[in-house]
Amino acid sequence: MSALNLDDFTDLIERPDSGVRRDAEARRERQVVPPGSLGRLDELGEWLAAAQSAVPVRPVARPRVVLFAGDHKVAELGVSARAAGSAGDLVREVLAGGRPVSVLARRLDVPVRVVDMALDCDADGLPAEVVRHRVRRGGGRIDVEDALTLQEAEAAFRAGVAVADEEADSGTDLVVLGDVSVGGTTAAGVLVAALCGTDASVVTGRGGLAIDDLAWMRKCAAIRDALRRARPVLGDQLQLLAAVGGADLTAMTGFLLQSAVRKMPVILDGVVAAACALVGQRIAFRAPDWWLAGHDSGEPGQAKALDRMALEPLLTQGLTVGEGAGGLLALPLVRAAAALAAELPVTAEEAEAETETEAETEAAAETEVTEGA
């Protein structure tokens, strides 16, 4: 049995401040641009104000991309267009600045952090900061064996919690969460199908490099077989992650929950992040209130998970590359919403009323001081 009690997160996670959100809505009604005319930007600004517990909302000043990395042995079945065990190469490309997320992060001036949880490569070839949380080398083939032992799953979950604490303690005020994996979308499909009570074919997508029909059928079969192993442990989310998730997905789940505890908003990237969020919702029902769906990747598993959590993607650009790129594209939208909510002036009538109210408050304070003297 694990010493980790996931039920604690239900008590630890609070919803964003509803009173502050009402104040943000009231402030929006006084601004020169009519409420509703900015579409979802109004809603975004109010959500961010509630998450920050601040009116007017503060700018997103210290965002960060956090990518959890791992290899999944199920890729040996030919369910991915990439070779099994090759996620380490992708990580090196991210660190070298040659992946889409690297380019976008440079342009948006956002640092990227990669956390190796289960890459199937020698740790010596990667920076110490990247590999220090590694739980194991690769993961079990989930159609026939557990991805992790229960002890490894607990270690991975705790690593995700620790990374969230590190980010919150360092002043990160918003995270774009993604993965760097090979075979990860297959594991994500299993989690979504298991938690939504649906069949493998409903959640099986084409992955980042658009696999052909034969590979899709192999992926569908792998998810179907892994589902048989997942269903008996649906009541225990840590055992579920150990059976069919993997170290990277388990760490992402821990990261998401602890981010909600620390009141640090998160933008979800693709289907892997969405699957982990769905597990997180099962553990703590208030947690999704701290998350945004960055984009619609077109993966059916992602759509199923987001629908279950009532999260609507901010963008629809069809990005299947993963690695946080789609989530990072949504960041300028969030920043724009914050700027509009904070900087749009109020109407002349409202400004005059606010000035009169401030003058009355100051006069009342002076009267109290005089009477007291």
Question: If you search the block for the tokens 């030919």, which residue do you land on?
Answer: 78
- Tell me the CA distances in angstroms from 140 to 183, 201, 263, 291, 337, one per residue in order: 11, 22, 34, 29, 43
Kindly write down the DSSP assignment for every residue of 37-103, as one continuous string. TTTHHHHHHHHHHHHHT-SSPPP--SEEEEEEEEE-GGGGGS-SSSPTT-HHHHHHHHHHT-SHHHH
Please state, in angstroms and rounded to a whole number, the distance separating the CA atoms of residues 194 and 188: 10
Strand partners, 315: 295
Which tokens is 9 given? Answer: 């997160």
List all residues 6 or more positions away from 313 whose beta carbon is below 8 Å from its beta carbon: 293, 294, 295, 296, 306
Closest CA to 219 of 198, 203, 231: 203
The residue from 46, 154, 167, 323 that is catalytic is 323
Assess whether 323 carries a catalytic annotation. yes
Kindly write down the DSSP assignment for every residue of 321-349, as one continuous string. --TTHHHHHTHHHHHHHHHHHHHSPBPHH
Please state, in angstroms and rounded to a whole number, the distance separating the CA atoms of residues 73 and 284: 29
- Tell me the CA distances in angstroms from 1 to 4, 5, 140, one per residue in order: 9, 10, 20
DSSP state of 124: G
Report the catalytic residues: 323
